[in-house]
Structure 1
Amino acid sequence: MTSGDWVNETLYAEWGQRFLVKRELARVKSEFQDILVFESHGHGRVMMLDGVVQITEADEFVYQEMLAHVPLLAHGAARRVLIIGAGDGGVLKRVLQHRTVEHATMVEIDGEVIRLAKEHLPGIGGDAWTDPRARVIVGDGIDHVRQAEPGSYDVVIVDSTDPIGVGEVLFTDEFYANCARLLTDRGLVVNQCGVPFMQADELRETSQRRAKAFPDVFAYVAAVPTYVGGFMTLGWAAKDADCRRVPVEEIRRRADVAGVLETTRYWTPEVHHAAFELPPYISMHLPRG
């Protein structure tokens, strides 16, 4: 692939997006997936896994901020955080921006994703890789949640591919049951659930599975330009429904204490609160009750 070539995303068979390539940076076939990293003209550097855009330098902040800050500030006292996937380091960086977090464990199955992100997308993870509060494990997230001690984490953040291929096992009944077991009494888990305008089945089916293990199941939204098709949904499963109903001013106070108010480009206390106000075409796919 050379300058001037186009890269077509292959997520949907009949619709999609493409990028004009400035230069190819890496093309690797790992044990788990095909990884492509290239520099684009409009979105900075881009990482694709199996032909699907995972992250671009231009808009990664939207997804990463909403995936990390919303659960941590909704919980309000999260000290121990488990991140499954997220090998680019962006979620880890945002979690560690919370000075109230004492330990953050990241489990990524594909070490090549971490290696290539450090080499070609260094700004996304930043200093998170060397933060003493971080533990980065190249391994199977499923095994980690099976073996984790009960009550060993306050928040679980799942940043995976869609429920096909290597990411499929992160959307099962067993996985969510184990998440519930390893979480503390007010613990919660969030995970990406796709773009519901195009992937409604993903939101509906994963919500039904989460509802078997958690009393409060919902979703919230973020507008990520390169996740084409409208709002991206982030699945929410909590032991305490009050975590979803924290007033804006309390979220602001918690963000100030955590030290993240001045770090964000998308997340605000108001955006946090509004993200749970879902249009009917999305909320119709959530469990009733």
Structure 2
Amino acid sequence: MSITTTNDKQWFSETEAMWPGQKFSLEDVLVFKSATYGHVLVLDGVIQLTERDEFAYQEMIAHLPMFSHKQPKRVLVVGGGDGGVLREVTKHDCVEEIVMCEIDSMVCDVSKKYFKDTVATAFDDPRVKLLHADAAVYLRENTTEKFDVVIVDSSDPVGPAEVLYRAEFYESMKNSLSPDGIICTQGECLWLHLDLIVDVMQRCQNLFPTVNYSYTTIPTYPSGQIGFIMCSLDKSEGVLAKPSACRRQDGGNATLLQRQDPRGLVRAACLRRA
């Protein structure tokens, strides 16, 4: 199966045959190659990432919470089977262990095959513990596990991801945090899902002393915008608004921060107080 086009300026111009996709117990998975955006991963008919612009999402959802924490040693990644969040988290030298709960093993397998040189580059990092499990069940059954940062790279609240938007899951995440722990979840699009965002923000404000909404722009997501909801158990003023001071002075991590956002303008622009 292939897609042809006579207009090079169209959004996607197919240059190779599609991998025809496959239906699994959880999701439809499809990969095709675009002349402009490189390989494209599609789950249940919705674009999850393209090689050209995936960094705009992966870097923000990972580095916003990671640099807000003083010294994140244990990190939980929920979802993120494409490996992009994992790639970004492993750039932090202070991290000792990353537990990743991805319910659908096929997403990981497909990413390792088609995005092995761009997105799925960190699965072999010795700090990574990959679990093909339901994160809601994992947190409910492992109440003694504590994490400094929890990153929820979920799809929209339908199908297997629906449970990740329930109040019970947010309570489980809160209980899994270390005393100054931070959560960052995929926060949907302001233009399309404002009611859902308001509902989740209000739920988070009932659980956490500090809650912020941030966002980034990414061309291939609906309306070109995607948000992140950040929550912290730390009551300190500005805890989520600027990188932790000790991280700014911490060798390799300081270098990473300087490379990502040398003047702090990106972070300041994307954050909005709840």
Give the TM-score normalised by the residue count of structure 1: 0.85
Match of residue 137, structure 2, among 139, 143, 152: 143
Partner deviation per Cα, 1:251-289 (whole Å, 9 max, x = no partner)? 64358536524764x79732123221x4xxxx7xx5xxx
Q: Which secondary structure does the structure 2 equivalent of 1:220 belong to?
A: strand
Partner of 1:244: 240
Give 1:32's match in structure 2, choosing from 18, 26, 42.
26
Report the CA distance shift for 1:105/1:5 in structure 2 as closer, same or farther (over 3 A). Answer: farther
Amino acid of the structure 2 residue aligned with 1:20: S
Q: Report the alpha carbon displacement of residue 249 of structure 1 after superposing the two structures with TM.
A: 7.0
Whether the 8 Å CA contact 1:151–1:184 is kept in 2: the answer is no
1:260 to 244, 253, 256: 256
Counterpart for residue 55 of structure 1: 49
- The match for 1:206 among 200, 203, 206 is 200
Tell me the residue number matched to 2:78.
84
In the alignment, the residues of structure 2 paired with residue 203 and residue 154 of structure 1 have an alpha-carbon distance, to the nearest angstrom, of 24
Structure 1 position 3 matched with structure 2 position 22: no
Deviation of 1:156 (Å): 0.3
Assess if the C-alpha contact under 8 Å between 2:70 and 2:244 holds in 1. no
- Indicate whether 1:43 and 2:37 are aligned: yes
Deviation at 1:109, TM superposition (A): 0.5
For 2:267, the equivalent position in structure 1 comes to 272
Number of residue pairs matched?
Answer: 268
Query: What's the counterpart of residue 154 of structure 1?
Result: 148
Identity score, percent: 34
Letter in 1 for 2:45: G
CA contact (8 A) 1:146 1:178 kept: yes
Counterpart residue type for residue 103 of structure 1? E
Q: 1:247 to 1:79 in 2, by over 3 A?
A: closer
1:22 partnered with 2:15: yes
Q: Is the 8 A contact 2:71 2:247 kept in 1?
A: no
Kindly provide the amino acid, as one letter, of the partner of residue 173 in structure 2.
C
**Does the CA contact (< 8 Å) of 1:71 and 1:190 recur in 2?**
yes
Between 99-108 and 247-256, the greater mean CA deviation after superposition:
247-256
Per the alignment, in what secondary structure is the counterpart of residue 235 of structure 1?
A: strand
Does the Cα contact within 8 Å between 1:88 and 1:124 map onto a contact in 2?
Answer: no
Residues 83-122 of structure 1 aligned to structure 2 (within 5 Å): 83-122=77-116
Distance 2:66 2:222 in 1: 26
Q: Structure 1's 206 and 123: CA in aligned 2 closer, same or farther, altered over 3 A?
A: farther
Report if aligned partners of 2:242, 2:267 keep a CA contact under 8 Å in 1. Answer: no
TM-score normalised to the size of structure 2? 0.89
Work out the CA distance in 2 between the residues paired with 1:145 and 1:268: 37
User: Which ranges in structure 1 are unaligned for 5 or more consecutive residues?
Assistant: 7-16
Q: How far 1:248 moved relative to its partner?
A: 8.5
Query: What are the superposed Cα offsets for residues 72-97 of structure 1, whole Å, 9 maximum, x if unpaired?
Result: 10012110000000000010010011
The residue type paired with residue 161 of structure 1 is: S
Q: Does residue 153 of structure 2 align to residue 164 of structure 1?
A: no
Q: In the alignment, residue 12 of structure 2 is paired with which amino acid? A: F
Name the structure with the higher helix share: 1
Offset from partner CA, 1:127-182 (integer Å, 9 cap, x none): 41111101111111111111233461000000010111111100111000010101
Corresponding residue SS for 2:2:
coil
Unaligned runs of 5+ in 2: none
Matches within 5 A, 1:65-84: 65-84=59-78
Quick one: distance in 2 between partners of 1:212 and 1:98? 31
Judged with a 3 Å threshold, the aligned counterparts in structure 2 of structure 1 residues 153 and 250 are, in CA distance, closer, same or farther, namely closer
